[in-house]
Chain A
Amino acid sequence: MTSRVVLTHAPLSEAAVRAVVVHPAAGAVLVFHGITRDHFEGRAVLELSYEAYPGMAEAQMGAIVAEAETRWPGVRVAIAHRLGVVPVSEASVLIGVSSPHRGDCYAASRFAIDTLKARVPIWKKEHYADGSAWKANQESGRGVLVAGTEKS
């Protein structure tokens, strides 16, 4: 992987994400893993699947990388998100961040995952023994122009 932004149906590689951001002037590197859980509110989740609006999702992920790198000078950020079925305990998202010092690394990593959950057009479906449901992030839409049509 050489790109700062990846959307793929294949398993994600921590080493690849790390390699994209690490450089000789970096003194800290973090790779955040968002992984899939086997339960939701007491119900067993058998499988999770993700779908995206690909062009827009990549553009939004790229905008988050650019925004983080502007806000924390010297920081490098890479984001990879998996689509399709993601088996339990595997990574659905990886966020790699390197920086000269650790403080900015933690801050930029937190910013990137929080903003991704708010703005990147990707959806998650949980499959249970007795059905399935699309699960929304609490952060969905935060900071975006929006909130369309409310319930009547």
Chain B
Amino acid sequence: MSDETVSAGPDGLQVTVLLFAALREQLGEPQVERRVPTGITARALYESMFPATSAGRMPVMFAVDEVYAAPETVLHDGATVAFLPPLGGG
């Protein structure tokens, strides 16, 4: 994937990214560790890991540490961020 677009400097953060459903299949992993720049938002990390294609980009919701979070949430060091594709439970 596009590690170069989220290459962290010496002040970067370590985050865990959780993938589900179609995104998990697309990346081939349920969970990845990423070194990211300080100040990065959940949305920016998602967009860097899943570049838009001609079909656009899957709309997702975000969770940080198992709680829904706004797309512009700034990630903290050690955060677990989840990209949640449209839900299908029930």
Residues of chain A having any CB pair with chain B under 8 Å? 34, 50-53, 55-57, 59, 81, 92-93, 113, 116-125, 134-137, 140-141, 144-152
Q: List 21 A-B contacts (CB under 8 A).
A: A34-B90, A56-B82, A93-B89, A117-B87, A117-B89, A117-B90, A119-B68, A121-B20, A121-B63, A121-B82, A121-B89, A122-B87, A125-B21, A137-B86, A137-B90, A141-B87, A148-B59, A149-B60, A151-B56, A152-B56, A152-B57
A151 engages B62 (CB within 8 Å): no
> Which residues of chain A are near B18, meaning CB under 8 Å?
53
Q: Does B47 contact A (CB under 8 A)?
A: yes
Q: Does B43 contact A (CB under 8 A)?
A: yes
Per the CB 8 Å criterion, the residue count for chain B at the interface is: 30
Q: Does B32 contact A (CB under 8 A)?
A: no
How many A-B Cβ pairs are below 8 Å? 114
Partner of B86, one of A34, A120, A140: A140
Partner of A145, one of B20, B22, B69: B69
Does more than half of chain A's interface fall in helix, strand or loop, or is it mixed? Answer: mixed
B70 engages A149 (CB within 8 Å): no
- Residue among A124, A134, A135 having the largest count of chain B Cβ atoms under 10 Å: A134
Q: Does B12 contact A (CB under 8 A)?
A: no
Partner of A148, one of B46, B52, B87, B88: B46
Q: How far apart are the CA atoms of A148 and B88 in the complex, in Å?
A: 17
Residues of chain B having any CB pair with chain A under 8 Å? 18, 20-22, 43, 46-47, 52, 55-57, 59-63, 66-71, 82, 84-90
Q: Name the distance in Å between A25's Cβ and chain B's nearest Cβ.
A: 29
A137 engages B60 (CB within 8 Å): no
Q: How far apart are the CA atoms of A120 and B68 in the complex, in Å?
A: 10
Q: Name the distance in Å between A138's Cβ and chain B's nearest Cβ.
A: 10
A150 engages B89 (CB within 8 Å): no
B62 engages A121 (CB within 8 Å): no
A53 engages B89 (CB within 8 Å): no
Q: How far apart are the CA atoms of A16 and B71 in the complex, in Å?
A: 39
> Which residues of chain A are near B20, meaning CB under 8 Å?
51, 53, 121, 123
